Chain A
Amino acid sequence: MLRRPRILLWSTLALLPALASTVLIAESPDEKRISVYAVVANYSLPVSEHNGRDYVGLLELLEPLGTVTARIHGNRWKLLYNDAECDFTTGEKQVRVRGKDFDLPASFLVENGRGQVPLSSLSTLLPRILGGPVIFNEAARRLFVGSVAVHFTALVSKTVPPKLVLNFSSPVNPTIATEPGKLRMAFTREAVVAPGSQLLTFDSKVIPSASFQESNGAAELVVTGTVPLLAVFSNDGRTITIAPSTAAVAVAPKPIAPTPAPAIEHTPPPATSPVATPAVMAPVAASPAVTHYVAVVDASHGGDERGAALTETIAEKDVTLAMARSLHQELVARGLATMLVRDADVTLTSDQRGSMANSAGAAIYICIHASSEGRGVRLYTALLPPGGENRGLFLDWATAQAPFQQASLMAEEAVAGELKRKNIPVRSLTASLRPLNNIANAALAVEVAPTTGDVTQLSSSVYQQLIAAAVASAVAEVRDKLQVGQK
Chain B
Amino acid sequence: MIPRHLIIAVVVMVAVALAMGFYVWRMPRRAAVAAPVPSNTQPVAPPASGPTENVTLYIAYDDSGSLRARTASIPLPAGRQERAEELLRALIDIYLDKSSPHPLGTGSEIRDVYLVDPGLAVIDVNGAFANLHRSGVLVEELTVASLIETLSANIPGITRAKILVDGNQRDTLAGHIDLTNFFDVAAVSQLAAQLQNTP
Seen from chain A, the residues whose Cβ lies within 8 Å of a Cβ on chain B are: 301, 305, 307-309, 316, 350, 369, 371-374, 378, 380, 383-387, 398, 425, 427-434, 437, 445, 447
Contact = CB atoms under 8 A, between A and B. Distances in A.
B115 interface: no
Given A385-B184, A386-B159, A386-B184, A308 B136 contact: yes
Interface stretch (B2-10, B23-31, B170-178): B170-178
A431 B134 contact: no
A431 B144 CA distance: 10
A323 to B, nearest CB: 14
A246 to B, nearest CB: 50
Given A373-B134, A386-B160, 15 more contacts: A308-B136, A369-B137, A373-B65, A378-B137, A378-B138, A383-B184, A385-B184, A429-B141, A430-B190, A431-B177, A432-B181, A433-B137, A433-B176, A437-B178, A447-B136
Interface in B159-190: 159-160, 171-172, 175-178, 180-184, 187-188, 190
A433 B136 contact: no
What 8 A-B pairs have minimum CB-CB distances, sorted nearest first? A385-B181, A308-B135, A386-B184, A371-B136, A432-B178, A434-B178, A447-B137, A374-B65
Interface residues of B, number: 30
13 contacts: A307-B135, A307-B175, A371-B138, A374-B62, A378-B138, A383-B187, A386-B159, A387-B182, A425-B199, A429-B195, A431-B137, A431-B191, A434-B178
B141 A431 contact: yes
Most buried by B among A305, A316, A386, A428: A386
A447 B191 CA distance: 17
B130 interface: no
Contacts of B178: 350, 432-434, 437
B177 A385 contact: no
Contacts of B65: 373-374, 378, 427
Interface of B: 62, 65, 134-139, 141, 144, 159-160, 171-172, 175-178, 180-184, 187-188, 190-191, 194-195, 199
B175 A374 contact: no
Chain B facing A: main interface SS = mixed
A386 B162 CA distance: 11
Given A309-B135, A383-B187, A432 B177 contact: yes
Contacts of A432: 141, 144, 177-178, 181, 183
Contact of A308 (B134, B159, B194): B134
A7 to B, nearest CB: 77
A305 B176 CA distance: 11
Given A371-B139, A374-B138, A433 B175 contact: no
B177 A433 contact: yes
Contacts of A425: 199
B175 A308 contact: yes
Nearest to A430: B191
A425 B138 CA distance: 15
A372 B65 CA distance: 12
Contacts of A374: 62, 65, 138
Contacts of B136: 308, 369, 371-373, 447
Contacts of A316: 135
A140 to B, nearest CB: 27
Contacts of A307: 135, 175
Contacts of B194: 428-430
